[in-house]
């Protein structure tokens, strides 16, 4: 439902730095649920929030909108993340309020994260052995 772009009027008011964006996003998700829940059962309201906060609210000033937050990373990163989580919560509230969870619907989130692999083969073998023990 959200993939890295907000309507310009929301961006003009601070985008995900503005807590009200979470509420407006919730209203948007409700509209989408009402319009499409007869055909869609699996929902992902927010795609890769970590990437959004890293690049839009703390990253390269020329690559991603709104940009120019590098000097403010100490707070902009966390505020945007908090408000995106609140937006996801608003979506969940509307999802439940409409009873979609009781009608076979599922709501999740798409997370991104860095992947790391061992530098040497011995660590790979140990990691593989440990993963077998945990299963």
Can you give the pLDDT at residue 72?
Answer: 82
| In a domain? residue 102 | yes
Residue 65 confidence class, pLDDT cut points 50, 70, 90: low
| In a domain? residue 13 | yes
| In a domain? residue 3 | no
Nearest residue to 98 (alpha-carbon basis) of 24, 22, 41, 21:
41
Residue 102 confidence class, pLDDT cut points 50, 70, 90: very high
| In a domain? residue 118 | yes
Which domain range does residue 118 map to? Answer: 8-134
| In a domain? residue 106 | yes
Question: Total domain count for the chain?
Answer: 1
| In a domain? residue 2 | no
Can you give the pLDDT at residue 133?
Answer: 67
Q: Is the pLDDT of residue 23 over 80?
A: yes
| In a domain? residue 52 | yes
Pairwise CA distance, residues 26 & 52, whole Å? 18
* Unique residue bearing structure tokens 């919730």: 26
């Amino acid at each position: 439902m959200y993939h890295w772009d907000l309507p310009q009027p929301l961006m003009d008011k601070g985008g995900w730095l503005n807590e009200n964006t979470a509420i407006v996003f919730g209203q948007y998700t409700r509209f989408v649920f009402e319009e499409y829940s007869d055909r869609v059962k699996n929902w992902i309201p927010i795609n890769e929030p970590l990437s959004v906060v890293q690049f839009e609210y703390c990253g390269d000033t020329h690559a991603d909108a709104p940009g120019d937050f590098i000097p403010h990373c100490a707070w902009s990163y966390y505020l945007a993340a908090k408000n995106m989580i609140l937006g996801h919560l608003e979506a969940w509230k509307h999802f439940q309020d409409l009873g979609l969870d009781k009608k076979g619907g599922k709501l999740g989130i798409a997370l991104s994260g860095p992947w790391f692999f061992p530098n040497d083969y011995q660590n790979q073998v140990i990691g593989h052995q440990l993963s077998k023990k945990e299963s």
